[in-house]
Amino acid sequence: MAKTIGIDLGTANVLIYVEGEGIVLNEPSVVAIDTQKEKVLAVGTDAYKMVGRTPGNIRAVRPLKDGVISDFDMTEAMLSYFMSKLNAKGVMSRPNVMVCAPTNITEIERKAIIEAAEKSGGGTVYLEYEPKVAAVGAGLNIFSPIASMVIDMGGGTSDIAVLSLGDIVRSESIRFAGDRLNADIANYIKREFGLQVGERTAETVKIQLGTAIPVDEPKEMEVRGRDTFSGMPRTITLDENVIEAAIHDSIAHVAKSAHHVLSELQPELSADIIDRGIVLTGGGALLHGMDKYLADELQVPVMISDSPLDNVAKGAGELLEHITKGA
């Protein structure tokens, strides 16, 4: 019998969960191509090392944007590479696959994701919404009549959903997530310090100094880039509170969307959320103080899931096992 695998086809990273083995692959969603020969040179981690450092004829491409496929051929090449890596590890060919997508995707985007998974070696391909599988991966019982709420902050989108009896009751998907925070940081550094930094540097700053709430004793780090006036290399020192100011508006947008979802719930469902709280998952859950910020803004308890980066892939695999075994 074919194994079931769950794929978190993320804007920033692709994670693959294999039944009985857990997460077996976690690599950046990047493909490096030689534009002259129209040939794929590297995929995943190897390609990510080339971002912002390539000569003119080599381009590092992110084939997913805002949680959906922006370059079909590159997505297929990337998935095929990852699936062949799994086969090399002995995973059975043509497995049943569940791929995840944001809640606001169009029918055309749905078909593109399914087709990419089929062409890259999947057998029967299912597509499910990210917050639903994230909730399963976080250990929530979404099949009970008691409502659960999840905020899944990924790379391209933040998906907010309330689930009950195995389905989404209310949801919202917004393009304020990890990539937006990276752009906020790069733009803020350029505007306030006259320094241009690359995408990878901005992401490193977010990981090291990112915080959703002001800090009394902020950590510092040196950041190198290109002076916007002289064009010469320059180094500045940033701290956590500078980065909080840079990303504040985007984080506030996530809280506003969560508030909107909560405001549309029936009273019984609202009472469930007050009792059970909200589960925060995805890479954004690792941002310092994000749970406290959301709890203060929404006046509802907010908990970070145990392994926020793995929840979508793990949940996809578990939900697919549930479907295929007719549990």
Binding region for ATP: 11-13, 155-157, 203-206, 283-286
Q: Which residues are annotated as a binding site?
A: 11-13, 155-157, 203-206, 283-286
d(CA 31, CA 11): 12
* Cβ pair 157, 102 in contact under 8 A: yes
d(CA 120, CA 232): 45
Give the DSSP H/E element, type plus range, for residue 143: none
What is the residue type of 83? M
Identify the three-state secondary structure at position 114. helix
What number of residues does the chain have?
327
CB proximity list for 116: less than 8 A, separation 6 or greater: 69, 72, 75, 76, 79
What is the residue type of 270? S
* Cβ pair 14, 327 in contact under 8 A: no
What sections of the chain are H helices per DSSP? 45-48, 72-88, 107-119, 130-137, 178-193, 199-209, 240-263, 267-276, 290-298, 311-324
CB proximity list for 270: less than 8 A, separation 6 or greater: 262
* Cβ pair 6, 300 in contact under 8 A: no
What's the per-residue H, E or C state across 309-327?
A: CCHHHHHHHHHHHHHHCCC
d(CA 78, CA 99): 14
Q: Are strands 31-34 and 58-61 parallel, antiparallel or unpaired?
A: antiparallel
Bridge partner list, 43: 31
Bridge partner list, 18: 5, 22
